[in-house]
Structure 1
Amino acid sequence: MAPALWPRLSRVLWLACLLPLAPAEVAAELLVGNLVVSQNTSLPWPSSYLTKTVLKVSFLLHDPSNFFKTASFLYNWDFGDGTQMVTEDAVVYYNYSIIGTFTVKLKVVAEWEQATQDAGKGIVQKTGDFSASLKLQETLRGIQVLGPTLIQTFQKMTVTLNFLGSPPLTVCWRLKPECLPLEEGECHPVSVASTAYNLTHTFRDPGDYCFSIRAENVISKTHQYHRIQVWPSSIQPAVFAFPCATLITMMLAFIMYMTLRNAAHQKDMVENPEPPAGVRCCCQMCCGPFLLETPSEYLEVVRENHGLLPPLYKSVKTYTV
């Protein structure tokens, strides 16, 4: 072999050794194509798809010169969630059941017969590795609100929001007198990276309020409302319970006392029909002129009750001249 061919042969052998270790772009230099992922649901965000909805994954070979028109292809699929399959078709359908970011990997092997220098035929094989990143999201089916519906002013309130779906990108809320949807730009969005979020607020004025809540991820958006009644801190319905109970108890005790007292008084009247001496005297003094027949009888009664009174009639001395 001519000495001038050694450098060229060494270069070819060196490239052949490095080819299996080269990146996908280099390894697939003679097998060019790309993965195309599509779904019936049209989303405005790139590489974002819905869970529990069929995905169509296809491989498109770039062969404008029809160089591989006689080749047979074998496709080895890896969907990144533990599922693998081998097909002879460049199109597969797959359904992701969980949310997350997955990488679909595809290894393509092309084989065809090619004539050799000794008038024979040999099998030629070319491979290519391709991949595509997918972000599987789940639509927000709603927001579960956990929190009080009655609270005092100047008392810190915490409301927990549980999102039924993929973690939202933004959460927006505002207090309103009525439960109405939030308009664009009406509140400041907050970034959330989990399926739960806590709202805290302190009410300064009593009244009826409504939390208007809006959550949105890259797939969908949803609204929810939570009514709450705020009482003044010095006036609470429970505050009246003890005073009212005390007042009712006192009223019942007073009614029972008056009832027993009247019953005892009636019993005394039945057992002792004659009034006491003082009452009788008073009656005689006050009502004597009306009850006695003549004034002389009245004066006689008064004289008997008051021993110090002078006699009713003075003795008349008579003289004989």
Structure 2
Amino acid sequence: MDGNATYVRDSGELASDIPTETMFELFDPQKNYSSAKLTYTWDLGNGEVIQGTEPVVRYHYSTSGNYTLRLKVGVDVTKYAPAITGVYSMDVQVLDAIKHIELRGPSDYEVSQNTSLAFHVDGSPPMWVCWRFLPNCEPDPMGGCTLTMLYENTLRLNHTFTSTGVHCLDISVRNDISKLQSSFSLYVRRSNNPHKLFILSCAAILVATFSFITVIACRPLHHSRSQIAASSNAVFLKNQDSDGQSAIRLNFSSVERGEKEPLLSQHGTQYCS
């Protein structure tokens, strides 16, 4: 149900700032005190004392904590007999009722990103929390919720939205004295960086291009050798040695720029029999 419902259990747990009514019931089956006058002195344990002739007292505790409620009952049977006094006490625990759930943070998020949501619950822990996300706020009567035990006043949820639009978050929180249900509307938008992949691809291409230019610029030695080889002429000479056997010698001669010399120079008789 919406709002908070506060109730008192037999264990003596009460809610702070909630009107409370306590009644004293006299058990007198033989009617011995039917004509007696009774007085009641209520000590609430917080410094407040209430006196009266009614067996009912109405009060409330402003702050949570542990208190001892004491009742002193005075009975005047006759004007000649001394008054009879009875003292009764009970320990009570006063808890804070759950009155509000607050979302601390933005109400709009991005799709496909791990989102952290923080909520403040102003009740006395421990509390049982049951929550579920509804895409596009469509009701799901058959769907369940995730149950979590909360030992503090801050609830943190991690969720990744898979679609854009308005989503709803239903939260139900209860402790020993109260229960509160609430719903939050969350707007999910597209990512602010739709071209992130394109930018990364362009950056990779630029890095590869610069690397290639750097490698080319750092090879002057190999480039010079290529030029020297291109500007040299090979001269093949076949001469006859003194033993009558032929030998081939390979000589290199540099050619200045602008000069021309045949690749194969012939000197003397090339073939001898």
| Residues 1:200 and 2:165 aligned together | no
Aligned partners of 1:79 and 1:103 also within 8 Å:
yes
Post-superposition shift, 1:135?
4.5
CA distance in 2, matches of 1:184, 1:133: 40
Q: Which has the higher contact order (CA 8 A, sep 6+)?
A: 2
SS in 2 for 1:147: coil
Q: Which structure's CA Rg is the greater one? A: 1
Aligned partners of 2:64 and 2:93 also within 8 Å:
no
Q: State the identity as a percent.
A: 22
CA distance in 2, matches of 1:181, 1:77: 50
Post-superposition shift, 1:81?
2.9
Post-superposition shift, 1:91?
2.0
Aligned partners of 1:179 and 1:225 also within 8 Å:
no
CA distance in 1, matches of 2:57, 2:171: 37
Unaligned runs of 5+ in 1: 1-40, 115-120, 244-321
Aligned partners of 2:101 and 2:121 also within 8 Å:
yes
Instruction: Report how many aligned residue pairs link the two structures.
Output: 191
CA distance in 1, matches of 2:166, 2:104: 16
| Residues 1:212 and 2:169 aligned together | yes
Matching of residues 215-230 of structure 1 within 5 Å: 215-217=172-174, 218-229=177-188
Q: Tell me which amino acid in the other structure corresponds to 1:73.
A: L
Aligned partners of 1:162 and 1:196 also within 8 Å:
yes
CA distance in 2, matches of 1:158, 1:196: 12
Q: 1:211 to 1:71 in 2, by over 3 A?
A: same
When you count strand as a share of all residues, which structure comes out higher? 2
The correspondence for 1:59, drawn from 9, 14, 24, is 24
TM-score, normalization: structure 2? 0.54
1:151 is matched with: 110
Q: Tell me which amino acid in the other structure corresponds to 1:172.
A: C
2:47 is matched with: 82
The correspondence for 2:121, drawn from 158, 163, 187, is 163
Post-superposition shift, 1:228?
4.0
Post-superposition shift, 1:88?
3.2
Matching of residues 115-264 of structure 1 within 5 Å: 122-123=81-82, 125-131=84-90, 133=92, 135-140=94-99, 142-148=100-106, 149-151=108-110, 153=112, 155-165=113-123, 167=125, 169-180=127-138, 183=141, 186-202=144-160, 205=162, 207-208=164-165, 210-217=167-174, 218-229=177-188, 231=190, 235=194
CA distance in 1, matches of 2:148, 2:102: 18
TM-score, normalization: structure 1? 0.47
Post-superposition shift, 1:45?
5.8
| Residues 1:95 and 2:52 aligned together | no
Q: Tell me which amino acid in the other structure corresponds to 1:219.
A: S
Post-superposition shift, 1:144?
1.6
Residues 40-87 of structure 1, C-alpha deviations (whole Å, 9 max, x = no match): x88496556554443222211111112234543332212233322233
